[in-house]
Amino acid sequence: MSYRAPLNDIRFVLDHVVGFDRVAATDRFAEATPDTVDAILTEAARLSEDVLAPLNRPGDTQPATLENGVVRTAPGFAEGFRAIADGGWIGINADPEHGGMGLPFTLTAAVNEMMGSACLALQLNPLLTQGQIEALEAHASDDLKALYLPKLISGEWTGTMNLTEPQAGSDVGALRAKAEPNGDGTYAVSGQKIYISWGDADFIDNVCHLVLARLPDGAEGTKGISLFMVPKRLPRDDGSAGDPNALRVVSLEHKLGLHGSPTAVMEYDRATGWLVGEPHKGMAAMFTMMNNARVGVGVQGLSIAEAAMQHALRYALDRKQGKSHVPDGSILEHADVRRTILSMKARTFAVRAMCLDCAVSLDLGRAEGDAAMRARGAFLTPIAKAYGTDTGIGVAGDGIQIHGGMGFVEETGAAQFLRDVRVTAIYEGTNGIQAMDLVGRKLADGGDAAFALLDEVEQTDHDGLRAAAIELRTLTQWMLDQPMQDRLAGSVAYLAAFARVLAVHYHLRAAAADADRSRLARFAATCLLPEALAEMAKARAGAEELYALTTDELAAA
């Protein structure tokens, strides 16, 4: 499964669609010059194509295993990870004080796209570490930062996030893990956590777990949760990994996809941990990591969409079947195949622009302290996560369809894309939770961030898009006027509508900068604007019909 990094598209989106030059113009990110950006993207593309892509299939067919308490990783993953770490790719946007490059988060997103397309199971490892780095930078004590950040940034150690428990899935406040003071500034952390991606690996000196647990005086629910750093091995005085901590991998999950990524059940038995942030403020600290990861997971959806689209396009060009109006007779000349490929390309381009637009907003908010840009990035985050992963799943499914019967057998590799990407709509907050967040927290500003985005869209010279944006503005106000249950009932459709309106907006920006892109933009508008209007109608339905059938009646059906 050869992969070619879409460098031209990435550069074009940065330069002509999302205004990355505004980030490079700030004092904080002045080093992100065109030459630096080009060098980073070019080298990341080489690494992804030549080193990581060959690991994708072996990671699927020879997955991580647990042997006598030791996680054995897939063939070549150790060397692949070392190439990522040695290249400095984990700390692209980390603080230079601790060994990071200090470059914009936008470049991390662009690099992660390519690495995720090449081998998503391996790319998930540094993605989690990057999120942990950001959480520690924001919330940890100076001593913890000095000890952990250099090793996480260098890739000597890796990081995880431990939220979920068997009885507490998305309801994190129902966790039972506990932490008791040891009297020396450390805590004894006990409990079981599930679905811990990259909970262990045989090529890492130390795995650093950020664990949510409740102190003895912690209130019930999320307000009483604290966050702890609990390493696999206890650091020695010189900072090296020392004796094993009182934690273990109980088992590895048998998963639909991402087989190369070990997903662990972790058990902590009075393991030594250190408090990160303030007592009982653990969710706020963990949300720093989660919000970073949510954008990153949206990028993972983009990664698979790009890889699956490339894979399907190559097959369509090579496959000769049926009569067509060109001599070579490839199936790409059949109307339905061409429609599907165009749709795959249009949606993939839109998600790339959406994720990078979100990242640019977050960078500008960080660099300039711009509250409006921070709000813009926050509003785009659930849309990028949900639409990005839904698109990855949809494009991967279309890729199987392009292959026909050959897509349903594993030898072609088309099925792996769908199996690997399916979880992205679930982890880091299901896409339903993203939609609830959008109509709840993200509209808590009275719709200011939403209306500001729509102001941008309505300036685009396209009657159909302008009309859809005006209708979306009306729907946003309708949402603000409704009781929360009606908002929640229409939240998924509202997010889907907003995403499609933005998608067409990005395509038309691209067409304005390059006339050659106008044909794909026209196709995108033709397909996505009717979908947006349909989603808006669904969003207005309210909650009444959802609850018209009683629970007993639903169960009987």
- The secondary structure of 29-80, three-state, reads CCCCCHHHHHHHHHHHHHHHHHHHHHHHHHHHHCCCEEECCEEECCCCHHHH
- With respect to residue 455, please indicate whether it lies within any of the assigned structural domains: yes
- With respect to residue 491, please indicate whether it lies within any of the assigned structural domains: yes
- With respect to residue 538, please indicate whether it lies within any of the assigned structural domains: yes
Q: Which residues contact 479 (CB under 8 A, 6 or more apart)?
A: 439, 443, 447, 487, 490, 494, 539
- With respect to residue 487, please indicate whether it lies within any of the assigned structural domains: yes
> Nearest-CA neighbor of 130 among 108, 99, 106?
108
- With respect to residue 442, please indicate whether it lies within any of the assigned structural domains: yes
Concatenated DSSP letters for 433-483? HHHHHHHTGGGTTTTHHHHHHHHHHHTSS-HHHHHHHHHHHHHHHHHHHS-
Q: In a structure prediction context, what are the per-residue pLDDT tens digits for the chain, which is 557 residues long? A: 589 999 999 999 999 999 999 999 999 999 999 999 999 999 999 999 999 999 999 999 999 999 999 999 999 999 999 999 999 999 999 999 999 999 999 999 999 999 999 999 999 999 999 999 999 999 999 999 999 999 999 999 999 999 999 887 677 778 999 999 999 999 999 999 999 999 999 999 999 999 999 999 999 988 899 999 999 999 999 999 999 999 999 999 999 999 999 999 999 999 999 999 999 999 888 888 778 889 999 999 999 999 999 999 999 999 887 665 555 688 898 999 999 999 999 999 999 999 999 999 999 999 999 999 999 999 999 999 999 999 999 999 999 999 999 999 999 999 999 999 999 999 999 999 999 999 999 999 999 999 999 999 999 989 999 999 999 999 999 999 999 999 999 999 999 999 999 999 999 999 999 999 999 999 999 999 999 999 999 999 999 999 999 999 999 86
* DSSP β-bridge partners for residue 178: 190, 214
Specify whether 368 is catalytic.
Answer: no
Structure tokens given for 513: 């900068």
The angle formed by the CA atoms of residues 354, 538 and 456, to the nearest 5 degrees, is 35
- With respect to residue 490, please indicate whether it lies within any of the assigned structural domains: yes
Distance CA 202, CA 360 (A): 36
> Nearest-CA neighbor of 490 among 543, 414, 552?
543
Residue type present at position 437: D
> Nearest-CA neighbor of 465 among 499, 498, 504, 496?
504
Residue type present at position 85: A
* DSSP β-bridge partners for residue 158: 207
Looking at residue 327, the DSSP 8-state letter turns out to be: T
**Element at 501 (helix H, strand E):** helix 491-513
Concatenated DSSP letters for 537-552? HHHTT-STGGGSS-HH
Tally Cβ neighbours within 10 Å of residue 246: 15
Concatenated DSSP letters for 98-139? GT-----HHHHHHHHHHHHHH-HHHHHHHHHHHHHHHHHHHH
Q: How many domains does the chain have?
A: 1
Tally Cβ neighbours within 10 Å of residue 365: 18
Distance CA 193, CA 164 (A): 6
Q: Which residues contact 131 (CB under 8 A, 6 or more apart)?
A: 159, 161, 289, 290, 292, 293, 296
**Predicted structure pTM score:** 0.96
| Catalytic position from the list 428, 458, 544, 553 | 428
On whether the CB atoms of residues 207 and 197 are closer than 8 A, the answer is no
- With respect to residue 424, please indicate whether it lies within any of the assigned structural domains: no
Structure tokens given for 469: 């944006």
- How far, in Å, are 13, 46, 89, 452 from residue 43 at the CA level? 18, 5, 10, 36
- How far, in Å, are 291, 333, 360 from residue 365 at the CA level? 14, 46, 9
Phi-psi region of 174 (alpha: psi -120 to 50; beta: other; left: phi over 0): alpha
Distance CA 64, CA 257 (A): 12
- With respect to residue 173, please indicate whether it lies within any of the assigned structural domains: no
On whether the CB atoms of residues 120 and 1 are closer than 8 A, the answer is no
Distance CA 315, CA 303 (A): 19
Distance CA 312, CA 332 (A): 10
Distance CA 195, CA 256 (A): 13
First vs last Cα of the chain: how many Å apart? 44
Q: Where in the sequence is the domain holding 484, given as residue range(s)? A: 430-543
Compute CA 490 distance to the chain's CA centroid, rounded to the nearest angstrom: 23
Structure tokens given for 207: 């795995």
Residue corresponding to tokens 């000196």: 205
Structure tokens given for 10: 């990435």
Residue corresponding to tokens 């262990």: 200
